[in-house]
């Protein structure tokens, strides 16, 4: 199959004004981790821990975007996208997490925003994409409420400095920031905790609510505020009641502990049943739900794959030592197509089910933007696997739209090959290949294909 043979939904499958974009994040592309007064982040620290990251790799130099951003903006313009989703590095703006503002950091993002606007590309800012200042982690990190309050201060600082940004996302994937980082230990800061990880999840939501309030205090006309969640449907590995219960627990851990407070104004009813042995929930305060559930202008949804769950014994029988990731579940990988780089299951229907499920569960759901969706491979320039993946998932979005879900945009992950967190640089998600030795950028087959899709030249009949 060639890229020209892959069919995508017709342009009419998406609503007028549909926002086509691509996404990146600061630590994954910027490099320059000690330039212009930037302070260390938890990822700078974590990457130095032996064995924490594949091949001992870190986010420096990544894609050297901090210096090469004009070249990357030119790639965006050539792609024809209407929007660019990027994150601001908290330690580049507030090196100690609070207090002293590093104006050189803000100036970098001002230049980027101005360059995007000159090319009629909508800047779509994410305020937190996992790079917590190490100074705040040293004081407890997201386990403590003070970090949520410092995040609101940081959000207000960036908002004041960056005029001309119509879309503001508070958090990217709080599940990964809390459970993957504080319970599973696979991401920074590398902790394996019970109560502390659940406190981190809650304080991330509190930080979101505080930041929303600060952003709206001084909102400019036309600005929209939202949050981005990574959504992975929990699927029972078998018809057994035990596996159905395991999938329900997985759904709680990954999805519902975030969607229910944010969109429904309530804590999940089974939260105490699953986690009552490892926490007393003392991190919750009166008024938190009202703060967290403030109305959103949009909801960002990141989707890659569903999680097939089977029941399993606890890895740690003693609740006092059990992490919040240890919920009596074993993930399984059924037969079927997988991505070539990471071996992730390819199940486009899961994206449609995620979108329709949200709309069914939450009346009054704000408009949805698919803020990440992409394919990791080993770096092929003729990346027809990525083209097929994107086409199938765009068809799934079109299916959800046809069923009445209010989806307003789609952002491909990612513009550039980049640092893939604990996996280092081996897995590549970019529409543009990056030679990390020379920093040369080379558009792949998928770059031209996606350009034709977003500009209307590649909108062919719907996938059957």
User: Residue 373's closest CA among 401, 354, 399, 358?
Assistant: 354
The helix or strand, by DSSP H or E, that contains position 75, with its residue range, turns out to be helix 65-79
Say whether 61 sits in a helix, a strand or coil.
Answer: coil
Say whether 407 sits in a helix, a strand or coil.
Answer: strand
372 counts as catalytic: yes
> Tokens 């970019």 identify what position?
430
CA gap 7, 462 in Å, rounded = 7
Query: Do residues 335 and 257 touch, judged by C-beta distance below 8 A?
Result: no
CA gap 75, 330 in Å, rounded = 42
- Point out the catalytic residue in the list 57, 102, 137, 173: 173
Query: Do residues 303 and 369 touch, judged by C-beta distance below 8 A?
Result: no
The helix or strand, by DSSP H or E, that contains position 234, with its residue range, turns out to be strand 234-236
- Point out the catalytic residue in the list 102, 137, 372, 392: 372
Residue 313: other Cβ atoms inside 10 A: 9
392 counts as catalytic: no
CA gap 125, 343 in Å, rounded = 30
Contacts of 99 (CB under 8 A, 6+ apart): none
The helix or strand, by DSSP H or E, that contains position 440, with its residue range, turns out to be strand 440-443
Burial of 221 (0-12, 13-18, 19+ CB in 10 A): exposed
CA gap 187, 422 in Å, rounded = 6
Burial of 257 (0-12, 13-18, 19+ CB in 10 A): buried
Q: Please give the full DSSP string across 206-230, using - where no structure is assigned.
A: HHHHHHHHHHHHTPPTT-EEEEEEE
Say whether 307 sits in a helix, a strand or coil.
Answer: strand
Q: Would you state the structure tokens that stand for residue 105, as one six-digit string?
A: 């950091």
Query: Do residues 71 and 441 touch, judged by C-beta distance below 8 A?
Result: yes
Q: Is 403 left (phi over 0), alpha (psi -120 to 50) or beta?
A: alpha
Q: How far, CA to CA in Å, does 250 sit from each of 102, 322, 346?
A: 41, 16, 19
- Write out the catalytic residue numbers: 173, 372
């Amino acid at each position: 199959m060639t890229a020209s043979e892959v069919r995508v939904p017709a342009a009419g499958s998406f609503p007028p004004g549909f926002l086509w974009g691509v996404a990146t994040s600061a630590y994954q592309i910027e490099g320059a981790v000690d330039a212009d007064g930037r302070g260390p982040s938890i990822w700078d620290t974590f990457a130095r821990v032996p064995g924490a990251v594949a091949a001992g790799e870190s986010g420096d130099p990544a894609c050297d975007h901090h210096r090469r951003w004009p070249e990357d903006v030119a790639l965006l313009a050539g792609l024809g996208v209407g929007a660019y989703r990027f994150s601001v590095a908290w330690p580049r703006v507030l090196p100690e997490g609070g207090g002293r503002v590093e104006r050189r950091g803000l100036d970098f993002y001002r230049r980027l925003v101005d360059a995007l606007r000159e090319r009629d590309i909508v800047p779509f800012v994410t305020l937190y994409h996992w790079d917590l200042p190490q100074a705040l982690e040293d004081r407890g990190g997201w386990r403590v409420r003070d970090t949520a309050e410092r995040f609101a201060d940081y959000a207000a600082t960036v908002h004041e400095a960056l005029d001309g940004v119509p879309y503001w996302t508070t958090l990217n994937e709080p599940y990964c920031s809390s459970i993957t980082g504080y319970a599973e230990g696979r991401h920074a800061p590398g902790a394996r905790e019970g109560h502390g990880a659940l406190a981190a999840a809650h304080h991330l939501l509190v930080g979101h609510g505080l930041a929303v309030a600060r952003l709206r205090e001084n909102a400019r006309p036309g600005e929209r505020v939202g949050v981005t969640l990574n959504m992975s449907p929990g699927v029972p590995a078998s018809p057994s009641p035990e596996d159905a219960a395991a999938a329900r627990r997985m759904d709680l851990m990954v999805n519902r502990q975030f969607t229910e407070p944010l969109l429904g104004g309530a804590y999940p009813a089974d939260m105490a049943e699953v986690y009552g042995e490892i926490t007393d929930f003392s991190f919750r305060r009166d008024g938190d739900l009202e703060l967290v559930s403030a109305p959103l202008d949009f909801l960002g949804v990141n989707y890659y794959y569903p999680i097939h769950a089977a029941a399993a014994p606890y890895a740690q029988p003693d609740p006092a030592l059990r992490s919040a990731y240890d919920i009596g579940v074993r993930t399984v990988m059924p037969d079927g197509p997988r991505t070539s780089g990471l071996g992730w299951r390819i199940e486009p229907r899961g994206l449609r089910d995620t979108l329709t499920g949200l709309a069914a569960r939450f009346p009054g759901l704000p408009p949805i933007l698919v803020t990440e969706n992409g394919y990791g491979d080993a770096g092929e320039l003729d990346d027809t696997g990525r083209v097929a993946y994107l086409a199938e998932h765009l068809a799934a979005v079109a299916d959800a739209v046809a069923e009445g879900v209010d989806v307003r945009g789609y952002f491909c992950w990612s513009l550039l090959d980049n640092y893939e967190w604990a996996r280092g640089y081996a897995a590549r998600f970019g529409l543009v290949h990056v030679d990390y030795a020379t920093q040369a950028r080379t558009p792949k087959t998928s770059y031209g294909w996606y350009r034709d899709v977003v500009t209307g030249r590649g909108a062919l009949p719907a996938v059957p």
